[in-house]
Amino acid sequence: MHKKKIYIVIGARPNFVKLAPLLDKMKEYPELLPVVIHTGQHYDFRMSESFFQDLNLPVPDFNLGVGSKTHGKQTAEIMEKFEDICIDSKPLAVVVIGDVNSTLACALVAAKLQICVIHIEAGCRNFDMTMPEEINRKLTDHISNYLFCATEKSVEYLKNEGINQNVFFTGDLQYDALKSNIKKADKFSSIFSKIGYRPGEYYLATIHRADNISKKKRLKNIVDAFCGIERVVFPCHPGTQKWLKKYNLWERLNRKVKVIDPVTYLEMLALERGAIKIITDSGGVQREAFWLKVPCITLMDHVLWPELFFEGWNVLIETNKDLILKAVYAPHKLKGQKQYFGDGNSAGVMAEIINGI
């Protein structure tokens, strides 16, 4: 049987989470041959390998080993190395996920080589072109042949940009992953002894976006707010640690806040589910909070997933100490929850479409 070779590109931890359910469903089609390309954009064990263990993912077929660099250098190196692989063994299609540098770099290479580009999580917009992620996702959408949207709002955004062909509302792979892994998180209750709190006793915080951590005033406002909240648990991204130390905020934060190293995927699910509220600038954590029915405070200037705000589970707050503290202690006006992100079988929908290419 002639196999349809499909390259699937991953680079950062949100990609790893979404890879697992997609690979599982692609196995149901014997004619598909998925080949996993890890660019190495996240190379730290806690940011990469631990996720492969938690999600029982296979060792990638290729690891480009790019590591951390400036946007331009990282994107260029990914393109150079990925192009060699594509020329050496041309696939039928290249699947890219989300909005990281790996997404745009590999989509550009495939498009220039006349290889079909499939973008998962297409149509996501916050309309802030100062953000690298917005540039990545928008450019990727405009050179993709198939566009898989997590929500109907994303389909609408693409139509507004004149993208109408091969656009599908598939649902969100991250929701698939959460549904299939949430029970496994029960086995990671040891994380609570590590943080010194039981479920329902703490607030969970995550900060990593460049706009929040690289600007001293914004980062100081966030640190001031965290230090004013009782019982904050803060898994700290390596990049965030670097900026906290550069601006001499690291020691003060550690005195007031329970700062811990980055956690594994299943540990994070356990922490999210047990939190009173979650404070974050992560699009992925926002969605997981929504599905786990934990109120969320988002520290961003623009809404990334408007669906999260319709029922009151999420509020958008400027990086201002007083506003953050007010949001933390104010009651959220919670309503119901609709299935904006599909029914948890987005991987099955995607695999069927990919098999038909």
- Taking the C-alpha atoms of 85, 12, 288 and 320 in order, what is their torsion angle to the nearest 10 degrees? -140
- Alpha carbon distances (Å) from 110 to 113, 134, 166, 228: 5, 20, 17, 48
**Long-range CB contact pairs, 44-50, < 8 A, 24+:** 44/238, 44/262, 46/261, 46/262, 46/263, 46/264, 47/12, 47/13, 47/237, 47/238, 47/262, 48/13, 48/16, 50/264, 50/265
β partners of residue 97:
120
CA atoms within 13 A on the CB side of 203: 23
User: To 10 degrees, what angle do helices 265-274 and 283-291 make?
Assistant: 60
Catalytic residue among 208, 237, 302, 332: 208
Tokens 């938690």 locate to: 54
Tokens 């089609």 locate to: 29
Active site residue 208: yes
**Residues tagged active-site:** 208
